Every structure is written in structure tokens, then in C-alpha cells.
Amino acid sequence: MKISKGWIVLIVIVVVIFLLFSWGTGIYNKLVSQEEGVNQAWANVENVYQRRLDLIPNLVNTVKGVANFEKSTLTAVIEARAKATSVQINPKNLDEGSLQKFQEAQNGVSSALGRLMVVVEQYPQLKATQNFAELQAQLEGTENRITVERMKFNESAQAFNTYLRRFPANIFAGLLGFQKKAYFASDKGAEKAPQVQF
């Protein structure tokens, strides 16, 4: 039995097409897996930030109970929380601009909470209450979790961005609409050590 040249050429073409399809599918699936890793890391970041936002009403209510407490400080915390909850990010469009808006809103919360804690120092009876001490400990723990989850997010984004830029994944990524993910960056001025004067 003799196979004609036409059949051999057709078999070779089918095999090449199958190999190219398999190769492209593998690259696409890896891009999807990497992007899902970034999305999961982003969800964890949002989760810990939400935990912090959820603690604020309890903190404000605890502090409100102290006579003559500075109302403007409480108002600043409440307004910062409201602004932070209004900033929503779709992980599919996680670019530098949207991440910067999110960071600015969260930095506003951090700043307002920092001012609140400074003012609280003037009220020893408030600091002595068990409820306030527990809330303060939960906030500190949440701040640590935020740092950890931001770091994990940056690691996931780096793995995705690295794979996205490598050849030949960069060709498929461009054709299939995958885009680079932004990173959390340190706050402006964080590179300078604070000056301490006595």
C-alpha cells in the first residue's frame, strides 16, 4: 500500500496545526491562571482593607462615649471611610491610575486613624477601656495583614507581568487582550528617613 504525497503533506499540515494549537492553548491557559492568581491576591487585599473599614464604626462609637472628645477628628475618620468605600476597582482593569486612586483613599483612612490615635493619647480613661484596647489591637493586626497582602499581590502581579512580557506569550497576550497589572508602591516621601529631633 502506497501513500500519496498529497496525504503525507495533509498529515504533516494537520500535525503542525495541532501542535501550534496545543502550544497556543498552553500559553493562553497559563496567562489565565496567572491572571486569576492576581485577581485572588487583589481580593485578599480588598478583604483586609474592608476589615479595617468595618472596625471603624465600632472605634468611632467607642470614642464618642468620651465627653468633650474632638468631634472634628471623628468626622475626618468617618469621611475618610466613606471616601474609601466609594473607590471600587475591577481587577480586570487594574492599571496604575485606578490603583493610585485606591491607595489615596486608603491613605486618607490611615491618616485619619493616625490623627485619631494621637488625640486618644490625651484621654487616659478611654485608653484604659477594654473595648478600645481590643479595637486598637484588631486595627494593628489588620494593618499588618494589609502589608502582607499587598506584598503577596505585588508578587502575583510580578509573576503575571513577567510571563506576559516573555516571548511568545507577549504575542498571544496582545492578541487576546491581556494587560499588565499595576503594583502597590510606597507612599511619596517614604524613601526619606524621618528626622527625629529631641
Q: Could you report the per-residue pLDDT of 97-118, keeping only the tens digit for each? A: 888 889 999 999 999 988 888 8
**CATH number of the domain that residue 56 is part of:** 1.20.1440.20
Q: Render pLDDT for 129-174 as a digit per residue (tens, 0 to 9).
A: 788 888 888 989 999 999 999 999 999 999 999 999 999 889 888 8
Cell 492578541 sits at which residue?
Answer: 175
Domain that holds residue 85: 5-176
Compute the distance between CA of residue 153 and CA of residue 91 in angstroms, rounded to an integer: 11
In a domain, 66, yes or no: yes
Give the tens place of pLDDT for each residue, 132-144: 888 888 989 999 9
Q: Is residue 139 part of a domain?
A: yes
For residue 191, is it within any domain?
no
For 165, residues 6+ apart whose C-beta sits below 8 A from its C-beta are 180
Structural domains counted in the chain:
1
Residue 187 lies in a domain: no
In a domain, 119, yes or no: yes
Q: Is 28 part of a structural domain of the chain?
A: yes
CB 152 within 8 A of CB 67: no
Closest by alpha carbon to 62, among 124, 130, 6? 130
The least confident of 3-12, 36-45, 130-139, 189-198 is 189-198
pTM > 0.85: yes or no: no
Q: Is residue 196 part of a domain?
A: no
- Whether residue 186 is contained in a domain is answered as no
